[in-house]
Structure 1
Amino acid sequence: MLKFILTAIAMTAAVLPAAAAAEDVPATIIAMERAALDRSDKGDVQGFLEISAPDVVYQDPALDAPLIGLPALTAYYAKFPAGEPSHGVMSNANVQVLGNVAVLSFHYVSRSGTPKEIVWNCTEVYRKTDGNWRIVNTHWSLTKPLPQKLD
């Protein structure tokens, strides 16, 4: 009987850390995204580059085609003025965890130097590799079409 109890305790102890880690994934992903958005709002896009995988794919309404790879995303972000502050609010964040992949979707309301707000939908796909979560796919879309293309 004692052997059965010790085996049950050992099995429970082995399962609990894995379950706890799985429960922490949504909070981890949302915290990473919020931190990168906060840096971006201060004109520092490095936060997103630091959490993007080398094979990241990036899409937004200002682009005619997806950007493929971290060098392409880095070059795209280099076009934006460094240090230009903006303000945004992330809401309705939801994370779906599928093994070593997590899909984050949320709304983002941004205001960049004007009183006019732009409302976005965003989906970020994160992949866990070597113990680290990295963005492998980003897709931004507007909830309402703009009258002109963003540059």
Structure 2
Amino acid sequence: MKNQDDIKATVATKAQKNEEEVAAHIIAMEKAALDQWGNGNPDGFLDISAPDVVYFDPFVEKRLDGIDELRALYDSIRGQVYMDRYELLNPHVQATDSMAVLTFNFEGYVNETVHRWNCTEVYRREETGEWKIVQTHWSLVKPQLK
């Protein structure tokens, strides 16, 4: 018969494995959406956003509330965003059974120009089991002074 310490160790191992699987899944979803975004197509992000998503970035005056407002923003810039490549740096996922927070640094490359951003995405596991973005916050990285 297993003792309490063995049971606790088994539960902790399973929880860690589940969190690692969730993290890998969330990061893969984000990268797939970014791959589309870099070709001027915001649909990848629209597809993984919940109907009640809220959105912040430095180029919008106020928080956007809901998928319709986000879609209107993305449709206004559809086909105008391009990157030669990007790097998702230092991705970190903190997850529970129903929520996950992804934070990362982002570098987008267009010719010789590098655009640096910070991003936080909050994902919620829906009743269907799918993960959907419920909150996005993009901010520009402060330029380094030389």
- The TM-score, its normalising length taken from structure 2, stands at 0.81
Partner of 1:109: 107
Structure 1 residue runs of 5 or longer lacking an equivalent are 6-10, 146-151
Partner of 1:41: 38
Partner of 2:18: 21
Deviation at 1:110, TM superposition (A): 1.4
Structure 2 residue runs of 5 or longer lacking an equivalent are none
Q: Percent identity?
A: 45
Q: Against the structure 1 CA distance between its residues 62 and 22, is the aligned structure 2 distance closer, same or farther, given a 3 Å change threshold?
A: same
Partner of 1:71: 68
Select which of 126, 131, 135 maps to 1:129.
126
Partner of 1:144: 142
- The TM-score, its normalising length taken from structure 1, stands at 0.79
Partner of 2:115: 118
CA distance in 2, matches of 1:28, 1:39: 17
Deviation at 1:42, TM superposition (A): 1.4
Query: Which AA in structure 2 matches 1:67?
Result: L
Query: Which AA in structure 2 matches 1:29?
Result: I
- Structure-to-structure mapping, 1:88-99, within 5 angstroms: 88-99=86-97
Deviation at 1:85, TM superposition (A): 2.6
Q: CA RMSD in A?
A: 2.5
Equivalenced residue count is 135
Deviation at 1:64, TM superposition (A): 1.1
Query: Which AA in structure 2 matches 1:91?
Result: L
Partner of 2:55: 58
User: Highest CA radius of gyration, 1 or 2?
Assistant: 1
CA distance in 2, matches of 1:79, 1:115: 26
Q: Against the structure 1 CA distance between its residues 64 and 83, is the aligned structure 2 distance closer, same or farther, given a 3 Å change threshold?
A: closer
Deviations along 1:24-81, one digit per CA (max 9) or x if unpaired, are 1000000000110011111111000000000000000001101000000000000114
Q: Against the structure 1 CA distance between its residues 77 and 128, is the aligned structure 2 distance closer, same or farther, given a 3 Å change threshold?
A: same
CA distance in 2, matches of 1:22, 1:122: 20
CA distance in 1, matches of 2:20, 2:86: 27
CA distance in 2, matches of 1:122, 1:77: 17
Secondary structure, counterpart of 2:41 in structure 1: coil
CA distance in 1, matches of 2:41, 2:103: 22
Secondary structure, counterpart of 2:77 in structure 1: coil
Query: Which AA in structure 2 matches 1:39?
Result: Q
